[in-house]
Structure formats: structure tokens, C-alpha cells
Amino acid sequence: MLTRKMLKAMGIEDEKIDEIIDAHTETVDGLKDSLKAAKADADKLKTVQKELDDLKANNGDDFKSKYEKEHSDFEDYKKTVASEKAAEEKRRLYRDLLRETGVGDKQLEAVLKVTDLSALKVKDGALEDADKLKETIQKEWAGFIATTTTSGAKVDTPPKSAHTAKTREEIYAKDEHGRYKLSTEERQKALAENPDLLKGA
């Protein structure tokens, strides 16, 4: 450290020594202030760096979490769409199979509502084991399957059958007005079908 004693030993005049000491003190004080400021800046830098590191780490974690969640949500959405599409295809194919088997259009939706379509499998755009499914439909939904039968013309009021008259009394029975209940033709037909009644005539 520069001192008066050192300067005097060097043969410097007292007046000059004072100037040198003052200048030296000013320089030293300035260096001390600069050193304090540098130290304060260094401490502040450490704090800022720590905050920056923390922010970077947190943002990285947040970004990663956000990305993973969005990716997971998108994958779930794709699975849901694919599942709904597959279910709709099964529904359409099974509806066609019901119609082919003979289930009436009015009953199709009712049958579909109570059918577990998840058990069905689709391959190459068609239901697997379609023939077995048809057999099952025919057994379980027989009441909904229309059948075609051949029948005669509908008769609103079928004619009275003479077969109901088995005795002479029935054939010749009269109503409260004294008129035969059976027509002449009906009586003749009844007698023809029961020839034994003519023996006693």
C-alpha cells in the first residue's frame, strides 16, 4: 500500500506527497466502490440466473405436461370416432341382415335396441358367421318375421252349414213365426247328407 513514508524515502517533496496521497486515496475509494457494485451485480446475477433456471425448468415441465395431455386427448378422440364408426357399421349390417331374414321394417329398430352389437365381428365389410346369425334371428325373433300363407277369399258372413243339422227336428225346425230356420236348399242338402233320415219319412 502507498504511504507517506514510502514517498518521502523516495525523495519526493511534502507538497507532492500530499497530492499523490490524495490521488491514490481517491483511486482506491473509486476501486472500492466499483468492487462493491461489481459484487452486488454478481449477487444479483446469481439471483437472476436462478430465477431463469427455475422458470426454464417449470416451463419445460408445463409444456411437456400440456403436450402429453393434448396428445392423450387427441388419441382418445380418434379412438372414440373409430369406435362410433365401427358401431354404426355393425348396426347397418345387422339391420340389413334382419331385413333379409324377414323381420318387418316396423320391428327393426325395436330388435336393434335390445341386441348386443358389441359381440358382432365385421370382416371385409360383412358380418362374420352371417348364416349362424340368421338362424339365431329366426329363433329369437320368430314372432317378428312375416310369413306368407295362401288362403281363400275372405267371406264376411259364411253360409250356414247344413252339417249342423243332424236330426229331422233340426232340419225342420221353425222359428217363433212358424217359418223354417233352414232354407229349402239347406234342408234338401241336410237330408242328402243324412240319407237315414229319409227312411222314416
61-70 per-position pLDDT tens digit: 676 777 788 8
Look at 21-35, 85-99, 130-144 and tell me which has the smallest mean pLDDT.
Answer: 21-35
Look at 28-32, 83-87, 158-162, 180-184 and tell me which has the smallest mean pLDDT.
Answer: 158-162
Using pLDDT thresholds of 50, 70 and 90, give the confidence band for residue 126: confident
Torsion sign (Cα): 103, 104, 109, 111: negative
pTM strictly above 0.75? no
pLDDT recorded at residue 41 = 78
Cβ contact 144:114 at 8 Å: no
Residue 162, pLDDT above cutoff 50: no
Using pLDDT thresholds of 50, 70 and 90, give the confidence band for residue 165: low
